[in-house]
């Protein structure tokens, strides 16, 4: 059962515009969410995170929004740049609400392409 879902396999945007990547989750016990970015031939790298006690976290061009009632989070990239073209994964701790953190459950990923 996929507890973290990214239903859009791909997204294409123009340079300078906003990119919005979406993620839905089913486990209301998740208390922390992370976004990872992956370039071809490289491992994923941590991008930004958000605690469930917040509804927004911003880091430069990247902002993550959390809507707990809808069990939905989104990553906004403004303005988008060609170098942002990558696969983006959302993730949450696998043992939600428990004490054994460290394991992450990932969404399927969304391929973002930013055109010059």
Partner 1 sequence: DADVTQTPRNRITKTGKRIMLECSQTKGHDRMYWYRQDPGLGLRLIYYSFDVKDINKGEISDGYSVSRQAQAKFSLSLESAIPNQTALYFCATSVSDRADTDTQYFGPGTRLTVL
The nearest distance, CB 37 to partner 1, in angstroms, is 11
**Residues 86 and 44: beta-carbon distance below 8 Å:** no
Ramachandran category for residue 102: left, alpha or beta (phi over 0 → left; psi -120 to 50 → alpha): left
Selected from 17, 72, 103, 115, the binder of partner 1 by CB under 8 A is: 103
| 69 is a contact residue toward partner 1 (CB under 8 A) | no
From 11-19, 31-39, 58-66, 68-76, give the range in contact with partner 1 by CB under 8 A.
31-39
- Using the minimum distance from each CB to partner 1, give the nearer residue, 29 or 78: 29
Q: Tell me if the bond preceding 19 is cis, omega within 30° of 0.
A: no
- Contacts of residue 10, defined as CB under 8 A and 6 or more positions apart, other chains included, come to 110, 111, 112, 113
Task: Enumerate residues 34-63 that contact partner 1 by CB under 8 A.
Answer: 34, 36, 41-46, 49, 51
CA gap 15, 19 in Å, rounded:
9
What's the distance, CA 62 to chain centroid? Answer: 10
Selected from 13, 73, 93, 112, the binder of partner 1 by CB under 8 A is: 93
| 109 is a contact residue toward partner 1 (CB under 8 A) | yes
Angle among Cα 42, 63, 92 to the nearest 5 degrees reads 60
| 8 is a contact residue toward partner 1 (CB under 8 A) | no
Q: Site residues (CB under 8 A) for partner 1?
A: 4, 6, 9, 31-32, 34, 36, 41-46, 49, 51, 89, 91, 93-94, 101-109
């Amino acid at each position: 059962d996929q507890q973290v879902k990214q239903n859009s396999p791909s997204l294409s945007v123009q340079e300078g515009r906003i990119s919005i990547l979406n993620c839905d989750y089913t486990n209301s016990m998740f208390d922390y969410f992370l976004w990872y970015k992956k370039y071809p031939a490289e491992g994923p790298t941590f991008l930004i995170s958000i605690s469930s006690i917040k509804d927004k976290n911003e880091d430069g061009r990247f902002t993550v929004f959390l809507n707990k009632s809808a069990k939905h989070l989104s990553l906004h990239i403004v303005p988008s740049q060609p170098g942002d073209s990558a696969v983006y994964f959302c993730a949450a701790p696998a043992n939600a609400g428990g004490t054994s953190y460290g394991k992450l459950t990932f969404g399927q990923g969304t391929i973002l392409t930013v055109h010059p």
